[in-house]
């Protein structure tokens, strides 16, 4: 079995949906499990609808529903070619939008919002299933809510996913094409929930790992990982092969093509991931696997914005073995991950990208230290082979950015990356300068 995930842009128009079947048929395998995101823009529209309901703007919510309903009516009329196909798809769409109107009677809360957000993927998968039905192509539509499960800590339960997904597929033993939703799941209470933004990649990776697929394919609108951000840097090149560790570093530190969490299930169960371009299906793309193929070289550069740097200074840190534990416990209490960290005798600097609880964190830190905050920072991540026996790469990196103010440098914590923290206004200059020097 191969797991093929198509993102929002890949299902963003009727024309794009029509291109999916030839792509699926071109991938040799005994079975295909297709994971779809919501149609491009739909999740944002559903977030806005939830905000209108939460703000008790019923009139605004209704206008927003009407506009989105008209958009999907047009979508259906362009995608389907027969009266029967149009009628069946239209009935389905009307039922979904009738559901949206019903939330005016509810005490709107996060549970209601999650139900609304789930409809984006339910719409895209059902329309694709009905489209295949019109084309007389057999397919089975599976509800991700029957097998995608997260626990009390919002972590996926791989064993249950494997058990339940295998059971659902086994019910249709002779079928070869299955369709399901990305992003959505059920939580420990059995309620509709989700895997957060970018969760369709995560769904595909979890299913590929759980079902021990021969390959996970992520189809998007770019031909794999590039060695720098093509939005800001000219003459970037796609990377043919990456190790799981290299891909994890790049996706976490800003490369948007792949959701950061998607690498870990595939790595754990050693299922290769291939990144491919729906606009250019013949492109080689990027293969991510357990093989190390980029020895003794620098592979790529990525950048992550929205970073806040926190400097914590205290004379009590000097020779105090419990100080760092005390600092980390503050961030643990507020469930705030740390990206980078550097230390000296009397100070520690670290970065975060989740600032919802920043004021509470600073208040607690101030009780035993002096705290300085720098917002609007960016992490520049240089990924490559930085094992201790390799010489000179750190010098090349530092030489490339010697004219740019560096807030922090992290080197040695990973054999796969050097991370630099710079004010965001210098990010593009840093990316270009590093690219010119390294590549």
Residues of the chain with CATH 3.30.2130.10: 298-438
Q: Which of 124-138, 205-219, 259-273, 317-331 has the lowest mean pLDDT?
A: 317-331
Q: How confident is the model at residue 361 (pLDDT cuts 50, 70, 90)?
A: very high
What three-state secondary structure class fits 384? strand
- Extract the tokens encoding 29: 């395998």
188 pLDDT above the threshold of 80: yes
256 pLDDT above the threshold of 90: no
Would the annotation count 387 as a binding residue? Answer: no
Decide if 236 contacts 229 (C-beta within 8 A): yes
Positive or negative, the CA dihedral 237, 240, 241, 242 is positive
For residues 362 and 244, what is the distance between their CA atoms, to the nearest angstrom?
A: 35
Would the annotation count 229 as a binding residue? Answer: no
Predicted confidence at residue 389, as pLDDT, reads 63
User: CATH topology for 2-220?
Assistant: Carbamate kinase (3.40.1160)
Q: Which of 99-108, 201-210, 219-228, 332-341 has the lowest mean pLDDT?
A: 99-108
CATH class of the 298-438 domain in this structure: alpha beta
Percent of the chain residues topping a pLDDT of 70: 97
Residues of the chain with CATH 3.40.1160.10: 2-220
Could you report the per-residue pLDDT of 269-297, keeping only the tens digit for each?
A: 999 999 999 999 999 999 999 887 777 78
CB atoms within 10 A of CB 306: 15
Would the annotation count 231 as a binding residue? Answer: yes
Of 241, 237, 258, the C-alpha closest to 249 is 258
DSSP code, position 39: P
What's the mean pLDDT when you consider all of the chain? 92
For residues 121 and 8, what is the distance between their CA atoms, to the nearest angstrom?
A: 9
Decide if 367 contacts 336 (C-beta within 8 A): no
Predicted confidence at residue 387, as pLDDT, reads 75
Predicted confidence at residue 323, as pLDDT, reads 83
Could you report the per-residue pLDDT of 232-255, keeping only the tens digit for each?
A: 999 999 999 999 989 988 888 876
For residues 159 and 140, what is the distance between their CA atoms, to the nearest angstrom?
A: 23
Predicted confidence at residue 31, as pLDDT, reads 95
Could you report the per-residue pLDDT of 214-229, keeping only the tens digit for each?
A: 999 999 988 889 999 9
What three-state secondary structure class fits 87? helix
Percent of the chain residues topping a pLDDT of 90: 78
- Extract the tokens encoding 81: 């070619």
Q: Supply the pTM of this predicted model.
A: 0.88
Which of 108-122, 321-335, 339-353 shows the highest mean pLDDT? Answer: 108-122
Predicted confidence at residue 344, as pLDDT, reads 81
Of 352, 364, 348, 343, the C-alpha closest to 309 is 352
What separation in angstroms does the CA of 424 have from each of 252, 377, 406, 416?
Answer: 17, 5, 11, 23
**Across 21-26, average pLDDT:** 96
Q: How confident is the model at residue 391 (pLDDT cuts 50, 70, 90)?
A: low
Would the annotation count 43 as a binding residue? Answer: yes
Would the annotation count 221 as a binding residue? Answer: yes
**Across 178-191, average pLDDT:** 96
437 pLDDT above the threshold of 70: yes
């Amino acid at each position: 079995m191969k797991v093929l995930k198509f993102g929002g842009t890949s299902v963003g128009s009727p024309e794009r949906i029509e291109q999916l079947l030839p792509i699926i048929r071109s991938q040799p395998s005994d079975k295909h499990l297709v994971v779809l995101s919501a149609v491009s823009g739909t999740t944002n529209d559903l977030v806005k609808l939830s905000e209108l309901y939460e703000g008790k703007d019923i009139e605004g919510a209704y206008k927003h529903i009407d506009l989105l309903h008209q958009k999907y009516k047009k979508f259906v009329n362009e995608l389907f070619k027969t009266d029967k196909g149009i009628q069946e798809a239209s009935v389905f769409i009307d039922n979904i939008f009738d559901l949206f109107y019903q939330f005016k009677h509810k005490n709107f809360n996060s549970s209601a919002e999650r139900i609304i957000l789930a409809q984006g993927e339910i719409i895209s998968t059902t329309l694709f299933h009905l489209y295949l039905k019109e084309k007389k192509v057999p397919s089975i539509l599976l509800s991700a809510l029957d097998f995608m499960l997260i626990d009390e800590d919002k972590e996926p339960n791989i064993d249950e996913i494997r058990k339940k997904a295998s059971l659902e597929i086994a019910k249709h033993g002779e079928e070869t094409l299955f369709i399901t939703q990305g992003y959505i799941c059920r939580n420990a209470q059995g309620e509709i929930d989700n895997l957060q933004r970018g969760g369709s990649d995560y769904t595909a990776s979890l299913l590929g790992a759980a079902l021990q697929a021969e390959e996970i394919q992520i189809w998007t609108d770019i031909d794999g990982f590039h060695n720098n951000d093509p939005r800001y840097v000219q003459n970037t090149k796609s990377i043919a092969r990456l190790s799981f560790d290299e891909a994890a570093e790049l996706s976490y530190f800003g490369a948007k093509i792949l959701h950061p969490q998607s690498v870990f299930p595939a790595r754990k169960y050693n299922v290769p991931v291939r990144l491919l371009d729906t606009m250019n299906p013949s492109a080689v793309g990027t293969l991510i696997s357990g093989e190390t193929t980029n020895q003794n070289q620098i592979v790529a550069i990525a950048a992550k914005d929205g970073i806040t740097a926190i400097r914590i200074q205290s004379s009590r840190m000097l020779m105090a073995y419990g100080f760092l534990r005390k600092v980390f416990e503050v961030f643990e209490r507020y469930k705030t991950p740390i990206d980078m960290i550097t230390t000296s005798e009397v100070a520690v600097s670290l970065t975060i990208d989740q600032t919802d609880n920043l004021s509470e964190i600073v208040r607690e830190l101030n009780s035993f230290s002096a705290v300085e905050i720098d917002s609007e920072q960016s992490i520049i991540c240089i990924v490559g082979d930085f094992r201790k026996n390799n010489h000179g790469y750190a010098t090349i990196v530092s030489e490339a950015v010697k004219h740019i103010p560096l807030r922090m440098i992290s080197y040695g914590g990973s054999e796969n990356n050097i991370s630099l923290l710079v004010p965001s206004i210098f990010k593009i200059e840093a990316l270009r300068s590093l690219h010119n020097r390294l590549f």
